[in-house]
C-alpha cells in the first residue's frame, strides 16, 4: 500500500499532477462498487476516494446524490465501506474515505479511525467538519497514522486558509467553484488563484476538485495544481451504463483519458478515439 504522500511525490517526479478519483461505496452494489473502484485504480488513478453514503449529502450534486440514494436503498453500511477500502487498498493505490461527519461521530471517532487504519485506509476527507470542531478527529488520526483532508473554497479568507492548512495532512482539497459537486462545461477562474493563495500557507500538495470531467479540464487544472480530483464524471459513467460490465469499461476508459490529461496531453486521448465529454 502506498501512502498519499508517496502518490503525490511520484506524480511530481514524473512532472505531472496526481489524479484522484471518487466513487461512493455500495454503488451500483457493494461488489460492483469494489470492482469499479479497483478498475479505476488500475486504469490510471493515483489516489482513490471512497464515499461513505449519507442521507443528507449537502455538498453533493444530483449525480452523486442519485448514486448515494441507490447505495443507501441497497442497504450499504459502514462495514461495507470498510470492506471496499480494504479491497481497493489491496491494489496498492492509496485510499481515502470521503465522508460527512455525522456517520463517523455516530460510529465513534476513535473506533472509526482504528477500523479505517486496519482496513488499509490512509485517512478521511471531511467536507463539513470545521477544523475548530475537529480536535477529537485530529487526535484519533494522529494515533492511527491517518491523513486528514479539509476543504478550502474561493471564498475562504487568508486567515481561514491558514487555519485549515495547519489542520491538514496528506493534501489540501481546493474546491474550484462555490456550489455542489458536478461536471461543468467550463471551470471557474477562481481555482488557480485559490491554489496560489493556499501555497502561501502550506507546503502540502493542493488538489482541485468540483467540476472536472474531461481530459482537457484535467490538463487545465494540472497546469497549476498538484492534483486533479474527479468524482461526478466517474459516477455518471456507472449511472448511464445499461449493464455493470459496460459501466466498468466506461470507468476504465475515463480513468485512462484523465490520466493522459493530468500529463498535459489531452489531445492524445481524443486522437486515440476517446471523447471524454460527459
| From 46, 49, 80, 257, the catalytic residue | 49
If you search the block for the grid coordinates 470507468, which residue do you land on?
251
**Crossing angle (nearest 10°) for helices 232-240 and 30-42:** 120
What are the cell numbers at 77? Answer: 453500511
Contacts of 42 (CB under 8 A, 6+ apart): 91, 252
Q: Is the peptide bond before 112 cis (omega within 30 degrees of 0)?
A: no
Catalytic residue, chosen from 60, 115, 226, 257, is: 60
Question: Is residue 60 annotated as a catalytic residue, yes or no?
Answer: yes
Q: Is 49 among the catalytic positions?
A: yes
Which of the residues are catalytic? Answer: 49, 60
Amino acid at each position: 500500500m502506498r501512502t498519499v504522500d508517496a502518490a503525490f511525490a511520484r506524480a511530481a517526479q514524473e512532472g505531472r499532477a496526481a489524479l484522484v478519483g471518487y466513487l461512493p461505496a455500495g454503488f451500483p452494489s457493494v461488489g460492483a462498487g469494489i470492482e469499479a473502484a479497483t478498475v479505476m485504480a488500475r486504469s490510471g488513478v493515483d489516489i482513490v476516494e471512497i464515499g461513505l453514503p449519507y442521507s443528507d449529502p449537502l455538498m453533493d450534486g444530483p449525480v452523486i446524490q442519485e448514486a448515494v440514494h441507490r447505495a443507501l436503498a441497497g442497504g450499504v453500511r459502514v462495514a461495507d465501506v470498510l470492506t471496499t477500502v480494504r479491497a481497493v487498498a489491496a491494489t496498492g493505490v492509496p485510499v481515502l474515505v470521503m465522508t460527512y461527519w455525522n456517520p463517523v461521530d455516530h460510529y465513534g471517532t476513535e473506533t472509526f479511525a482504528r477500523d479505517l487504519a486496519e482496513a488499509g485506509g490512509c485517512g478521511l476527507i471531511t467536507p463539513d467538519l470545521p477544523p475548530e470542531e475537529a480536535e477529537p478527529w485530529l487526535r484519533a488520526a494522529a494515533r492511527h497514522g491517518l491523513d486528514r483532508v479539509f476543504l478550502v473554497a474561493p471564498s475562504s479568507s487568508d486567515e481561514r486558509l491558514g487555519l485549515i492548512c495547519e489542520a491538514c495532512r496528506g493534501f489540501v482539497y481546493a474546491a474550484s467553484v462555490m456550489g455542489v459537486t458536478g461536471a461543468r462545461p467550463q471551470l471557474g477562474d477562481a481555482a488557480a488563484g485559490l491554489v496560489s493563495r493556499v501555497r502561501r500557507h502550506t507546503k502540502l500538495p493542493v488538489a482541485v476538485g468540483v467540476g472536472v470531467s474531461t481530459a482537457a479540464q484535467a490538463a487545465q487544472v494540472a497546469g497549476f495544481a498538484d492534483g486533479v480530483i474527479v468524482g461526478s464524471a466517474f459516477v455518471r459513467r456507472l449511472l448511464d451504463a445499461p449493464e455493470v460490465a459496460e459501466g466498468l469499461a466506461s470507468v476504465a476508459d475515463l480513468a485512462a483519458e484523465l490520466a493522459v490529461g493530468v500529463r498535459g496531453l489531452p489531445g492524445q486521448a481524443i486522437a486515440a478515439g476517446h471523447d471524454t465529454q460527459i
